[in-house]
Amino acid sequence: EAKSPTIVFLDDLGQGAAAVQKAYMQLILARRINGHMVSDQVVFVAATNRREDKAGVTGILEPVKSRFKSILHLEVNAKDWIEWALENDVHMGVVGWIHYQPNMLTAGKPTNDIVNHPCPRTVTNASDLLKADMGSHAELSGALGEVGAASLRGFLNVYENLPDLDTILDNPDSAIIPDEPSALYATAMALVERANKSNANNIFRYIGRWQGTFADVAAYLVEDMRVKHPETSSTSGYIQWITDHADMYSN
């Protein structure tokens, strides 16, 4: 009965029993439910894990697969995840960690053992633990496994012990610039969290002093600040930064 474009999402299709998949086969092809025609406005979209994800996938019937116009394989992308994280209030220490070590989003391998490993879902779970003041190594290990927890905890130790940000915001032309990469990423994320329209210009003055490879971290900071605090993109500092560094954003 849909009168406007509508998506019907069939989740975990590959985990469905053969009988369930056969029902979907008729639904997609004949576009009928119990004798009722499905509107032409409806588009069917399905998702499934892969067998190697150890999610109980037994496969998808060949006639079901062939009824879909196309099959796309999606890969984890750190840049896309970070943008989503900034828009969904993920702990900034976790966002900074993924900036610093983007491979951690895909570091784990599925296993039948009762342990977690880093992936987009469990990294987000780690953020929830931190926001609930449950950030011990043991608690983070339950979300990310031992290796993931050690990596995140190491970054957070830097993030949680940064110099006073007020000193940076009040004295952007003379404040110390960290010379250790993890500290620089941590400083960048802390500044993103504190950013607003009033202090944005001072942030741009401060990161304007970041040279060489540090300039790449500054570029991440600017993009994250724009996503998390859109109002900062109307400041003179932002406009000048984008003008001066247009080559960084050409892709």
Give pLDDT tens digits for 113-160: 778 889 999 999 999 999 999 999 999 999 999 999 999 999 999 998
Domain boundaries, the chain: 6-65, 78-159, 165-249
- pLDDT at residue 149, rounded to an integer: 95
- pLDDT at residue 222, rounded to an integer: 95
d(CA 129, CA 142): 10
Share of the chain above pLDDT 70, in %: 99
- pLDDT at residue 228, rounded to an integer: 95
* Residue 5 binned pLDDT confidence (cut-offs 50, 70, 90): very high
* Of residues 227 and 249, more confidently modeled: 227
Closest Cα partner for 159 from 100, 212, 73, 219?
100
pTM attached to this predicted model: 0.79
Give pLDDT tens digits for 19-68: 888 888 878 888 887 778 888 899 999 998 887 777 788 888 888 888 88
Residue 18 has pLDDT above 90, yes or no: no
Q: Which contacts (CB < 8 Å, 24+ apart) does range 35-41 have?
A: 39/1, 39/2, 39/3, 39/6, 41/2, 41/3, 41/4, 41/5, 41/6
Measured in whole angstroms, the distance separating CA 199 from the mean position of its chain's CA atoms is: 26
Give pLDDT tens digits for 72-112: 998 899 999 999 999 999 999 999 999 999 999 988 777 77
Alpha helices in 34-77 (DSSP H): 62-65
* Residue 250 binned pLDDT confidence (cut-offs 50, 70, 90): low
- pLDDT at residue 166, rounded to an integer: 93
* Residue 251 binned pLDDT confidence (cut-offs 50, 70, 90): low
- Segment 203-227 mean pLDDT: 92
Strands (E), 22-132: 32-33, 36-37, 42-46
d(CA 141, CA 118): 10
- pLDDT at residue 115, rounded to an integer: 83
Amino acid at 187: T
Cβ atoms within 10 Å of 100's Cβ, excluding its own: 21
- Segment 226-249 mean pLDDT: 92
Give pLDDT tens digits for 150-203: 999 999 999 988 878 999 999 999 999 998 899 999 999 999 999 999 999 999
Please name the residues in contact with 193: beta carbons below 8 A apart, sequence gap of 6 or more. Answer: 92, 228
